[in-house]
Chain A
Amino acid sequence: MTVTRRSFLIGLNLAVGGLALGIYPRDALAAEPAGLSPNVFVRIAPDGVVTIVCHRSEMGQGVRSSLPALIAAELGASLDRVVVEQALGDAKYGDQNTDGSSSVRERIDDLRRAGAAARQMLITAAAKQWKVKPATCAAAGHQVVHAASARALDFGDLVAAARKLAVPKPESLELRPMAELRAVLHPTLPLLDGPAFVEGKAQFGADVSLPGMLIAVIARPPVVGGTVAKYDADAALKIPGVRHVIAMPEPVAPWLFKPWGGIAVVAENTWAAMRGRAALDLSWNDGDNAGYDSAAFDDEMLASVRAPGTTRRQVGDVDAAMTAAARIVEAEYLVPHLAHLSMEPPTALVAIDGDQVEVWAPTQNPQGARGEVARTLGVAEDNVTVHVTLLGGGFGRKSKPDFVAEAAFLARETGAPVRVQWTREDDVRHGYYNAVSAQRLRAGLDADGKVTAWHHRTAFTPIGSTFDGVSDEPGDGDLQQGVLDLALDVPNVRAESCKARAQVRVGWYRSVYNIFHAFSVGSFIDELAAERKVDPRDMWLEIIGPAREVSLQELGIAKLGNYGHTLDDHPVDAGRLRNVIERVTASAKWDERAASGRFLGLAAHRSFVAYTAVVISVVADPVRTFRIDEAWISMDAGTIVNEERVHSQLEGGLIMGISNALYGGVTMKQGRTVQSNFRDARIARIRDAPRRIHTDLVASDALAAGVGEPPVPPVGPALANALFALTGKRLRAIPLAKALGI
């Protein structure tokens, strides 16, 4: 549908049915000169309607319900009088990058204070009018109430007086007890965009159109950094509907978020643009990365982890302990590049009017998109307006605004609004893949089988390479993801990083490096259990050791990135990791598995300062070797805001973990991505999903941790361990489907 810019915003912000938070047909952009707006997140109109700004991007995690409902709960507003407005990209909101499982983890207190500031002003206004002490008043149900005198005033009736008051300082604000918020937020918040989703009315990136808009499809160089040798523009222009054939700027390392290069075909509709691209008859100069070959690179990484690397974590003397060990267990693991494959391929619309640039994009990172568009066009960021549509999945791909920059370039070149549409093949072949990795783990065991030495070498292509063009070894922030923050009750520990040189664009992918660190460590602990002939759960608990907060000294490191948190706020807590293991195995009836003839696999992992454990049950299947019939997942993520959506993240993370482990990965040959579409870039289908999933959240008052990513890492090793239980075969390379022949 063609929409005006203003009605688009309303369409996005106000969902359709009565189930939604915001049901008021109000122009969200309208100025409210008589309203109360103590900060950038909250506005209260004289009629009492509360507009709450969601500054993060909705990509399935439920953030458009969670964050506004949290602010509303702190304020004391009724959700049926709240309108949710999606923020433009603007630094005034603080960090908007919806990445790193950070929306609640990092912003919960800011957002609560935004609601509390408005509440305090309304209460002060009411108390003045009633000549009572503010402390004797409360805000609830969209009213300020003075219980002692049984008086109450609607928020709307207090706006005129409250807006004359000074906005309270953040440190002076009193936040409600979390239990009080929980009573409002749990168990089930409205699914803001649910009705629009099931009626086909929700607006994703490709659903916005402007008068005169053209669609662009780009033929990109198959090898990163390659350039166009020749192409036939005339052939493309002969296709009816094709308007322009435009050479994109040639890519120059480092890749950052710059357009990838190639030739754009710009047409009146998507089909014409696709046909035009097919007619280009292109040939390429492949450039420096044409030698990238996954099979050879696996060997290169294995050679890298078979030689000493840079010591990053050290306790005791691993070499001496290995020499003294009664036996040594050793294993190597390989995990390929993973492609995001969000169901909505990247797309972005840019319109330029004089010196003003307007963007509509399914971006996780509207400020980043704003900056990249400004850089591409050579304009000031203030001249760029970024509207965030709904995202048809993100998983980290859409935190990179390269596709938005492409649209900006083409809008300028054509003088028309241009929407760039990535095809699925483009998405598979030109992503920012998760790092490819080799891991080598060795353990020294004494005569009693006790692990006395732990030696971990990790090699992976760090994301830093995308930004500096040279990084081939991880930073400490990278190794916090399952190497440095791993609780080990082992007297001699050494972790080393080894070199791996990136030859593609590497970027964040849901849970990032945790995927291969959890896969290798989680598989290796199971291998130790098999070697020792002990119960894998007992092995996990023995390796982690007793419940305790593990100090830097015990970890054998000088500092820990810890996802931006202090260890006081978020310690490395072995007790919480043990607890989720004990809960998940109890729920899965782990101890009865032999008696009940079940084949279960267990793994656990700390990431984004949350603790997650998974048990997977597999059964033999005559056709497909095996199928996953049941799964259990327990998570301790501290304080939870939107409990029901966190359960859905546990379900979804579990299934994405199955996708990663079973089918995951793209491979490279002659610098080109071998896979092209869902037939070979496979993800889980419905038959791969367990028939029963049991999700379990630890009730906790601890500080909020991440929830979107932590469910993913332990799934791969739990599945590999379950398959070992079923088949006796140890699978150390992802995709597992390859070895299984399925």
Chain B
Amino acid sequence: MKIRVNGTERTLDVDPEMPLLWAIRDVLGLTGTKYGCGEALCGACSVHLDGHVVRSCVTPVRRAEGKRVTTIEGLSAAGDHPLQRAWLELRVPQCGFCQAGQLMTAAALLEATPAPTDDEIDASMAGNLCRCGTYPRIRAAIKRAAGIKGDEP
């Protein structure tokens, strides 16, 4: 089957039921997308499918057929998406493992809601776990990327 990953058409010869996560990681070799739970409970595997956030660990690869998949590697051409910049300016990551998923979910949030409130951020980011506890900086960085001035840490 053919899927378009980060702007490039790729041909996959895999079990159509294989979760998109494993097709991305094990077959296409794009390792920025992470396995954290396998049951859509932690968000580490978040990618965009035609611009919408999906948890790739529970999305069969057949659902991506003929569609556009964007992973963290394709979020921006030069690592300079406003969220990526804000993430570095506010030094959000600790261990870094969940951050690709956090960024992909946040990017979709800002697409739909360019100036989110704290409550909207909490609702949209509810499915993305961070064991290091970077949540306050994630909130602040989303607001910074959105151009919202306020109570940054």
Binding site for B on A (CB under 8 A): 1-2, 16-17, 19, 58-62, 188, 191, 193-204, 206-207, 209, 215, 240, 269-271, 274, 341-345, 390-395, 421, 423-425, 644, 648, 651-656, 659, 677-679, 683-693
Residue of B nearest to A690 (CB): B136
9 cross-chain CB contacts under 8 A? A198-B84, A198-B88, A206-B35, A342-B97, A343-B98, A344-B95, A392-B34, A393-B131, A678-B129
B41 and A651: CB pair below 8 A?
Answer: no
A343 and B136: CB pair below 8 A?
Answer: no
B39 and A19: CB pair below 8 A?
Answer: no
Complex Cα gap A677–B37 (Å): 7
Interface size class of B (residues with CB under 8 A): 35 or more
A198 and B93: CB pair below 8 A?
Answer: yes
The 3 lowest CB-CB distance pairs between A and B, nearest first, are A200-B32, A655-B133, A392-B97
Most chain-B CB neighbours within 10 Å: which of A659, A688, A689? A689
* B18 contacts A by Cβ under 8 Å: yes
* B7 contacts A by Cβ under 8 Å: no
A61 and B94: CB pair below 8 A?
Answer: yes
In-complex Cβ contact of A17 among B19, B79, B97, B118 (8 A): B79
A651 and B133: CB pair below 8 A?
Answer: yes
Residue of A nearest to B74 (CB): A200
- Report chain B residues within 8 Å CB of A196: 96
Mark B62-100 against chain A: 1 for CB-CB distance below 8 A, else 0.
000000000111010001000010011001011111111
A390 and B95: CB pair below 8 A?
Answer: yes
* B49 contacts A by Cβ under 8 Å: no
- Report chain B residues within 8 Å CB of A644: 91
B79 and A16: CB pair below 8 A?
Answer: yes
Residue of B nearest to A58 (CB): B95
A654 and B96: CB pair below 8 A?
Answer: no
Q: A194-B88, A654-B133, A686-B126 are in contact. List 16 more A-B contacts (CB 8 A).
A: A16-B79, A197-B87, A198-B103, A199-B72, A201-B73, A206-B31, A393-B131, A644-B91, A648-B134, A655-B135, A655-B136, A677-B38, A677-B39, A678-B39, A686-B128, A689-B139
- Report chain B residues within 8 Å CB of A60: 93-96, 132
B122 and A686: CB pair below 8 A?
Answer: yes
B79 and A198: CB pair below 8 A?
Answer: yes
Q: Taking chain B's interface residues, is the majority helix, strand, or loop, or is none over half, making it mixed? A: loop
* B130 contacts A by Cβ under 8 Å: yes
Most chain-B CB neighbours within 10 Å: which of A2, A62, A199, A274? A199
B93 → chain A closest CB, angstroms: 4
- Report chain B residues within 8 Å CB of A684: 133, 135
In-complex Cβ contact of B131 among A215, A421, A656 (8 A): A656
Q: Total contacts A to B, CB within 8 angstroms?
A: 199
In-complex Cβ contact of B19 among A271, A659, A677 (8 A): A271
B26 and A271: CB pair below 8 A?
Answer: yes
- B92-119 residues with Cβ-Cβ distance < 8 A to A are 93-100, 103, 118
- Report chain B residues within 8 Å CB of A679: 39, 41
- Report chain B residues within 8 Å CB of A201: 32, 73
A341 and B125: CB pair below 8 A?
Answer: no
A1 and B94: CB pair below 8 A?
Answer: no
Complex Cα gap A19–B87 (Å): 13
A191 with B129, Cβ < 8 A, contacts A1-B31, A271-B15 known? no
In-complex Cβ contact of B84 among A199, A652, A656, A683 (8 A): A199
A423 and B72: CB pair below 8 A?
Answer: no
Complex Cα gap A575–B125 (Å): 42
Most chain-A CB neighbours within 10 Å: which of B31, B44, B103? B31
- Report chain B residues within 8 Å CB of A648: 91, 94, 134, 137
- Report chain B residues within 8 Å CB of A683: 129, 131
Complex Cα gap A685–B124 (Å): 11
Complex Cα gap A654–B94 (Å): 14
Complex Cα gap A651–B90 (Å): 13
A202 and B37: CB pair below 8 A?
Answer: no
A191 with B93, Cβ < 8 A, contacts A200-B73, A683-B131, A686-B138 known? yes
Complex Cα gap A735–B132 (Å): 19
In-complex Cβ contact of B42 among A240, A343, A652, A687 (8 A): A343
B133 and A656: CB pair below 8 A?
Answer: yes
* B27 contacts A by Cβ under 8 Å: yes
- Report chain B residues within 8 Å CB of A395: 131
A270 and B35: CB pair below 8 A?
Answer: yes
In-complex Cβ contact of A678 among B19, B42, B100 (8 A): B42
B41 and A677: CB pair below 8 A?
Answer: yes
Residue of A nearest to B18 (CB): A271
- Report chain B residues within 8 Å CB of A269: 18, 22, 26-27
A685 → chain B closest CB, angstroms: 6
Complex Cα gap A686–B25 (Å): 27
A355 → chain B closest CB, angstroms: 30
In-complex Cβ contact of A393 among B25, B103, B132 (8 A): B132
In-complex Cβ contact of B136 among A2, A58, A345, A693 (8 A): A693
B129 and A197: CB pair below 8 A?
Answer: no
A285 → chain B closest CB, angstroms: 28
- Report chain B residues within 8 Å CB of A194: 87-88, 91, 93, 96
Complex Cα gap A207–B33 (Å): 10
B88 and A195: CB pair below 8 A?
Answer: yes
B42 and A203: CB pair below 8 A?
Answer: no
A195 and B79: CB pair below 8 A?
Answer: yes
B15 → chain A closest CB, angstroms: 7
- Report chain A residues within 8 Å CB of B42: 343, 424, 678
Complex Cα gap A198–B128 (Å): 15
Most chain-B CB neighbours within 10 Å: which of A341, A654, A678, A688? A678
A207 and B41: CB pair below 8 A?
Answer: no
- Report chain A residues within 8 Å CB of B129: 343, 678, 683, 685
- Report chain A residues within 8 Å CB of B100: 197-198, 200
Most chain-A CB neighbours within 10 Å: which of B15, B19, B88, B94? B94
B135 → chain A closest CB, angstroms: 4
Complex Cα gap A394–B131 (Å): 10
Residue of A nearest to B31 (CB): A207
- Report chain B residues within 8 Å CB of A61: 94
- Report chain B residues within 8 Å CB of A62: 94
- Report chain A residues within 8 Å CB of B32: 199-201
Complex Cα gap A395–B131 (Å): 10
A273 → chain B closest CB, angstroms: 10
- Report chain A residues within 8 Å CB of B118: 691
A393 and B95: CB pair below 8 A?
Answer: yes
Complex Cα gap A390–B100 (Å): 15
Most chain-B CB neighbours within 10 Å: which of A59, A269, A395, A653? A269
A199 and B79: CB pair below 8 A?
Answer: yes
A188 → chain B closest CB, angstroms: 8
